[in-house]
Structure 1
Amino acid sequence: MSESRTGRRWRTAGLVAVAGGTLALLPLTGALAGAEDPGGDGGQGSGHPRSVIFVNGDGMGPAHREAARLDQEGFDGQLAMDELPVAGLQTTDARDPEDTVTDSAAAASAWATGVKTYNGAISVDVDGEPLPTLGQQAEEAGLAGGIVTTAQVTDATPAAFFATSTDRAAQDDIARQYLEVSRPEVILGGGEDWWLPAGDEGTYPPRAGDEEDPEVSRSTQGDLVAQAQAQGYQYVSTAEEFAAADSGLLLGLFANEEMFQQRPEGEGDEFDPVVSLADMTTTALDVLSQDEDGFFLVVEEEGVDEMSHDNNGTRMLEAMRSLEAAVDVARAYVAEHPDTLLIVTGDHECGGLTIEDVDAEDESGPGGTLPQETAVEGETVSGEDGPFTVAGTDGAHDFALDWTTTAHTGVPTVVTADGPGSEELVGYYPNTHLHDVMSGVLFG
């Protein structure tokens, strides 16, 4: 990590905020002093902010956020992610030769590189040529880098910021690139299988019930955990080891694949991560903030997307609670470090979700029951899930979740933000715009 720097000073500037659903210009602290602050020495003496916390609720569309608000806060409350003072909407379409709707790889690549690409691509252009990524650029500029996710640490979103590949499935090669090319200081999440060679099952054996696609170790790049340790990373794989971690280079893998089990409700679904997303975020910030030149941290809750693929509203709402807790950690950090840009968004919408009243006359069937009917091969138009209680109403109000697909949709996703540069995120724009804003904060 770079040597410590001190003396950063910040002044007040006007930022556009959302108040009661109306866009307004409000004074907020956290704008950079820039060249007008000769005493500030962040950003090579310019006083420029150098840190970004980027939080992705994978698959999180507007209805997911609203369902989470009703579930956690009720009619009169707000989620921490929605209390951020700046809001906008991003479009998410890819540049795929066949598909209009994006996958996570193309969406994250747009964020990481500012270039649209095809589904399945990890920060390469439509011709398969590698592109510069924010994560690697941050490392090359002397900033620290970090990954926190409940997915595999080599899955699409974190991979796009710290690796390049023509195929998102090459997760062992993506892990190799972390160690040999981009070298983020903190790597925390799931995906142990991709770091260990076949036959070495490590801490997490294959999950039961995965006979068709067993979750087994599969690295073709050798023992990457051993390679990481040889490079100075402290490796942890249990909650106890994580709690005792004290390294400036930290690799933590807490599941063989994702840190949960995605299934339709009642069919072996689980959401009980060994280490919470909030705790991983806390530790990552503790490590990365030691570099006062700044850092770039990607935080992802994958469970929102995976549970939505199975139209599992109960587990999706649990994943949203996990995400909200991590946002609380990030907001607390930004409150103490106003030179940090915080962005919370979703890479795409998943499930075609909407929120409805509980209605026995709706397509959910007679008797007031709400069977979960997954839309498969045209067998059902949609399926309802629930009922779920509105928080704070003592059961007097409830709601249903109506799924229209088990796939992604092209609905624009909400962007909320705080900190320097966030004023540029008001409005309606393509997802590549987030790259430009983050790049401006990280590199001026």
Structure 2
Amino acid sequence: MGMFGSRRALSGAAGTAVLAVAFAAGTATTEGYRDDRDRGDRGRVDRARNVILLVGDGLSIAARDAVRLATVGQDGQLAMDSLRYAGWTQTDSADPEEAVTDSAAGATAFATGVRTYNGAVGVDADGNAVPTLLEHAKELRKSTGLVTTSQVTDATPAAFGSHVPDRGEQSEIARQYLEVTRPDVILGGGEDWWFPEGDEGAYPDDPDDVRPEVSRSPFGNLVEQAEAQGYDYVSTEAELLDSDADRLLGLFANEEMFEQAPEGEGDEYDPVVSLRTMTEKALDVLSQNRRGFFLMVEEEAIDEMAHNNNAARTIQAGQSLDETVALVTEFADHHRGTLVIVVGDHETGGLAIENVDPADESGDLGSTEENVLRSLEDGPFPVAGSDLEFFVDWTTTGHTGAATPLTAEGPAAELLARSQDSTDVFRVALAAMRGRW
């Protein structure tokens, strides 16, 4: 079977009843996807049949350029930079105490078009549930999916599929996926939040980890509940690839699908299933619905590695995202009416690209404080295809308020080619799905 080939028709009802927001239930159409290469290019059509939103968590313009230099060099072009339209998003949240957003508020802006306080997921600044792009897609009888290298219940995917006042309520987020928003495909890490205490699941508990990895669901075995609702549960790449189900739950790690740490201190980026492979499977499943789909894909490790001022792993995670963007753009080339958006939710680390200059070292070389030493220059890294090298310098281990780059192609993408608020991503994606812009 070729990439994006039809496996089986979608079936089942996709109903949604959301806390303070209600949507009418609809039934997914059971016609397999069509290859649209004979219907012209990705020019304007009446509406977006498919919307694929790819979020590089913590992806700044400097991080994107570091990935470009290390991967394809000064004269090369990343897949994410090949999309036709480019703009940038201002990332301010509506937090009353902090000027810089976190991932929860940033993702909620993308998902709902509403600015909210840091830590909020799918709710406004008053704590009221706000309908998300995923729920609007369900209302339009589209299939839906969430893919991430983080926990599937972490802030970014959670903002599209749940409504909680505190991003830390990850088991409640999982419960809402099953009982309220019901995405057709859920792939990533975080099995600890789905299994009850004492039930290790597929990945053994590790209570001695710096961030203890132990099963902790207060709602019983949510994986069993998912299977009872018709999800095919998979925990390895082989199981994922072998599945022919139209509803998938894949959990491939206790928590994140990588180990975030400073360089040489236990850092690792080697997911059990790559972001590209998870995304390819999601596209294969979701594209069965002739009414189309909404899919959110997140690369979380860019942010987590930048929090640890680990430039090598930040670049590696960015390369993984770009490989996934290349896959998605190939899919869009074969499926007219697909809107593709690539964007960062905020900047992390205050990353800067610098020349190799020993006299220009920033920070306090004589400090004994871990955070100070960690924020020294990182590198050198080779510029692909040349004899040049560059350093990465850091200013913080936290987020910054810098705007983030956005590239897009497909129906309504031209509306994103400007300076805008992050909430405009929601408005344009929804308008494209509805065919009203």
TM-score (norm 1): 0.88
The equivalent residue for 1:281 is: 279
The equivalent residue for 2:18 is: none
Are residue 421 (structure 1) and residue 404 (structure 2) matched? no
The equivalent residue for 1:254 is: 252
The equivalent residue for 1:146 is: 145
Pairing 1:31-46 to 2, within 5 Å after superposition = 31-32=44-45, 34=46
Q: CA contact under 8 A between 1:92 and 1:348: conserved in structure 2?
A: yes
Match of 1:399 among 378, 383, 390: 390
C-alpha distance in 1 between matches for 2:223 and 2:331 = 30
The equivalent residue for 1:37 is: none
TM-score (norm 2): 0.89
Once the two structures are superposed, residues 84-140 of structure 1 have per-residue CA deviations (whole angstroms, 9 ceiling, x without a partner) of: 110001100000010010000001101111110000000111111111111122113
C-alpha distance in 1 between matches for 2:52 and 2:367 = 36
Once the two structures are superposed, residues 181-211 of structure 1 have per-residue CA deviations (whole angstroms, 9 ceiling, x without a partner) of: 1111100000000110011111112348515
Match of 1:388 among 381, 392, 401: 381
What amino acid is aligned across from residue 48 of structure 2 in structure 1?
P
Alpha-carbon distance change, 373 to 57 in structure 1, aligned in 2, over 3 angstroms: farther
Q: Structure 2 stretches of 5 or more lacking a match?
A: 1-27
Pairing 1:194-205 to 2, within 5 Å after superposition = 194-205=193-204
What amino acid is aligned across from residue 421 of structure 2 in structure 1?
P
What amino acid is aligned across from residue 30 of structure 1 in structure 2?
G
C-alpha distance in 2 between matches for 1:383 and 1:148 = 33
Once the two structures are superposed, residues 3-62 of structure 1 have per-residue CA deviations (whole angstroms, 9 ceiling, x without a partner) of: 3288989988xxxxxxxxxxxxxxx74211x3xxxxxxxxxxxxx322100000000000
SS of 1:417's equivalent in the other structure is strand
The equivalent residue for 1:41 is: none
The equivalent residue for 2:73 is: 74
Q: CA contact under 8 A between 1:271 and 1:315: conserved in structure 2?
A: yes
The equivalent residue for 1:182 is: 181
C-alpha distance in 1 between matches for 2:412 and 2:367 = 42
What amino acid is aligned across from residue 151 of structure 1 in structure 2?
S
C-alpha distance in 2 between matches for 1:58 and 1:245 = 29
The equivalent residue for 1:410 is: 401
C-alpha distance in 2 between matches for 1:221 and 1:92 = 34
The equivalent residue for 2:241 is: 243
Alpha-carbon distance change, 247 to 289 in structure 1, aligned in 2, over 3 angstroms: same
What amino acid is aligned across from residue 403 of structure 1 in structure 2?
W
C-alpha distance in 2 between matches for 1:241 and 1:235 = 9
The equivalent residue for 1:3 is: 30
C-alpha distance in 2 between matches for 1:375 and 1:135 = 41
C-alpha distance in 2 between matches for 1:63 and 1:365 = 19
Highest RCO, 1 vs 2 (Cα 8 Å, sep ≥ 6): 2
Once the two structures are superposed, residues 287-316 of structure 1 have per-residue CA deviations (whole angstroms, 9 ceiling, x without a partner) of: 000001010000000000000000001111
C-alpha distance in 1 between matches for 2:220 and 2:84 = 46
- Structure 1 position 247, deviation (Å): 0.6
C-alpha distance in 2 between matches for 1:234 and 1:381 = 43
C-alpha distance in 1 between matches for 2:370 and 2:379 = 16
C-alpha distance in 2 between matches for 1:318 and 1:371 = 30
Alpha-carbon distance change, 54 to 371 in structure 1, aligned in 2, over 3 angstroms: farther
Q: CA contact under 8 A between 1:90 and 1:415: conserved in structure 2?
A: yes
C-alpha distance in 2 between matches for 1:257 and 1:372 = 33
C-alpha distance in 1 between matches for 2:56 and 2:368 = 24
SS of 1:358's equivalent in the other structure is coil
Are residue 61 (structure 1) and residue 60 (structure 2) matched? yes
Q: CA contact under 8 A between 1:86 and 1:426: conserved in structure 2?
A: yes
SS of 1:383's equivalent in the other structure is coil
Once the two structures are superposed, residues 234-262 of structure 1 have per-residue CA deviations (whole angstroms, 9 ceiling, x without a partner) of: 00001221121111000100000000000
SS of 2:131's equivalent in the other structure is coil
Q: CA contact under 8 A between 1:233 and 1:249: conserved in structure 2?
A: yes
Deviates more, 1:167-176 or 1:128-137: 128-137
C-alpha distance in 1 between matches for 2:90 and 2:423 = 9
The equivalent residue for 2:114 is: 115
Pairing 1:4-403 to 2, within 5 Å after superposition = 4=31, 29-32=42-45, 34=46, 48-207=47-206, 210-211=209-210, 213-363=211-361, 376=371, 379=372, 382-393=375-386, 396-403=387-394
Q: CA contact under 8 A between 1:150 and 1:259: conserved in structure 2?
A: yes
What amino acid is aligned across from residue 391 of structure 1 in structure 2?
A
The equivalent residue for 1:19 is: none
- Structure 1 position 365, deviation (Å): 8.9
C-alpha distance in 2 between matches for 1:234 and 1:117 = 34
Deviates more, 1:183-192 or 1:238-247: 238-247
Moved over 6 A (4+): 5-12, 370-375
What amino acid is aligned across from residue 4 of structure 1 in structure 2?
E
SS of 1:299's equivalent in the other structure is strand
C-alpha distance in 1 between matches for 2:317 and 2:39 = 37
- Structure 1 position 317, deviation (Å): 1.0
SS of 2:43's equivalent in the other structure is strand
C-alpha distance in 1 between matches for 2:418 and 2:429 = 16
Q: CA contact under 8 A between 1:71 and 1:390: conserved in structure 2?
A: yes
SS of 1:169's equivalent in the other structure is coil
C-alpha distance in 2 between matches for 1:381 and 1:316 = 14
SS of 2:165's equivalent in the other structure is coil
C-alpha distance in 1 between matches for 2:169 and 2:267 = 26
C-alpha distance in 2 between matches for 1:293 and 1:372 = 59
Question: How many corresponding residue pairs?
Answer: 407
The percent identity for this pair of structures is 55
Alpha-carbon distance change, 374 to 245 in structure 1, aligned in 2, over 3 angstroms: farther
What amino acid is aligned across from residue 209 of structure 2 in structure 1?
D
